[in-house]
Amino acid sequence: MNKEHIKGTAEEVKGKVKAGLGELTGDKRLKREGQVDQIKGQAHKIAGDIKDARHDLIDSAASRKK
């Protein structure tokens, strides 16, 4: 887990709250903003997965050299 995963989770939670409030109050704009925030959160998580995979690949290559 890295900073991108943490940012992603926070962004998704923020988005779910916004979308829920938008749904509850009938505020379509707030609901859409929440949905966008959720997508941003997912993107951060994917970026975190890529960073983790890159580090794993580098570590694997380094251990092969030894």
Q: How confident is the model at residue 56 (pLDDT cuts 50, 70, 90)?
A: confident
Q: How confident is the model at residue 66 (pLDDT cuts 50, 70, 90)?
A: low
Total structural domains within the chain: 1
Per-residue pLDDT at 1 exceeds 90: no
Could you list the residue range(s) of the whole structural domain that residue 23 is in?
3-65
With a CB cutoff of 8 Å and minimum separation 6, the contacts of 15 are 33, 34, 35, 36, 37, 38, 39, 40, 41
User: What does residue 2 show for φ and ψ, rounded to 5 degrees?
Assistant: -130, -175
**Cα torsion through 24, 37, 9, 5, rounded to 10:** 170
Per-residue pLDDT at 50 exceeds 90: yes
Q: What is the mean pLDDT of residues 44-57?
A: 92
pTM over 0.75: yes
56 compared with 17, residue with greater pLDDT:
17
